[in-house]
Amino acid sequence: MRNVLRSWQDEVKKTFSGNADAPPEWSLRLAEGDDAGYHLPGSAVWAVHGSMTPIVGGIRTLLMQSLHPGALAGVHEHSNFREDPLRRLANTIRWIFTVTYGSTAAAEEATRRVRHLHKPVQGSYQANDGGQRTYSANDPALAGWIHLAFTDGFLAAHKIWGGPIPDGDDAYVREWAQAGRLMGVENPPTTEAELRSQLEGWYAQGQLRADGRVKETVEFIRKAPLHPLLRPGYRILFAGAVYSLEPRYREMLGLSVPRLGPFPLPVRLATKVVLGVVHLALGGIGRRMGPSEIAARQRLKRLGEPSANLA
């Protein structure tokens, strides 16, 4: 049993960092840099991204992003997500944590790297009105949808399973708008009301679609090719992501909040339990600081930033 638990813990660590024995090298380099970066200890972004809730928020984000036919075409036609989904996850985590915890130079360099990788991601798709539309991963409008889905997903999951957000929900939307600007998004929302309004605009204008390709993608996300030891927990986290969706998006995706067994815990509680177990598996006792946050605090202390000492 001890070996099984150790193997499970190692698989959790490898899934999120790529290595069971050491943090990724890029996270340690966040101790480098000559300024405090875009976000500081005590910020809303640090509170949300330093918790376990982005695990559920990330699943929800993928589900929401799949509703845009241009975004989905880019994934299906220009990525190897089926063969190597964890590499895509690792690249996304690297960008999020670098923008969250790194210096401005590190955040901007990470963003340039992502945008460079996005350059060949372009093509065309049939819109809902029957016309052909072009798409490009670096197009500001498409990047705007990705940013909305991300911000909405992470905020929604944290509101359900996370702790208080310093200065409230608007603060997270406002602070993470900087990430949108780095990715070329024009006028990213800076309040939760603006976030809701912009999401409503995409829905009301009929720019979202659920078709066979969306169904295929949802099934892939539902049955992600994880190690068998991780699948039971992931099943619950997927259920949590579905639970967190607005009913209209849940309906578009053909999803309903699943039962977790003949005598199940409520999905909300079961998700909280799994997030707690993952927290422990990653070495958390009390409030866990990951390697990216530790490296960022080292940089801030070196620069004499008072907030580096905030718990």
The 3-state DSSP class for residue 165 equals: coil
**pLDDT digits 0-9 by tens, 134-173:** 989 899 999 999 999 999 999 999 999 999 999 999 999 9
* Non-local CB neighbours of 263 within 8 Å, separated by 6+ positions: none
What is the Cα–Cα distance from 91 to 96, expressed in whole angstroms? 9
**pLDDT digits 0-9 by tens, 208-223:** 999 999 999 999 999 9
- Determine the structural domain holding residue 24 and report its residue range: 2-309
Q: Which of 60-69, 89-98, 288-297 has the highest mean pLDDT?
A: 60-69
User: How much is the pTM?
Assistant: 0.91
Domain tally, the chain? 1
What is the Cα–Cα distance from 150 to 178, expressed in whole angstroms? 13
What is the Cα–Cα distance from 58 to 167, expressed in whole angstroms? 23
What is the Cα–Cα distance from 230 to 20, expressed in whole angstroms? 14
Q: Which helix (H) or strand (E) holds 126?
A: strand 122-126
Closest CA to 71 of 143, 128, 120, 126: 143
Polymer length in residues for the chain:
311
Q: Hey, what are 81's tokens?
A: 């997500």
Q: Which one-letter DSSP state was computed for residue 307?
A: G
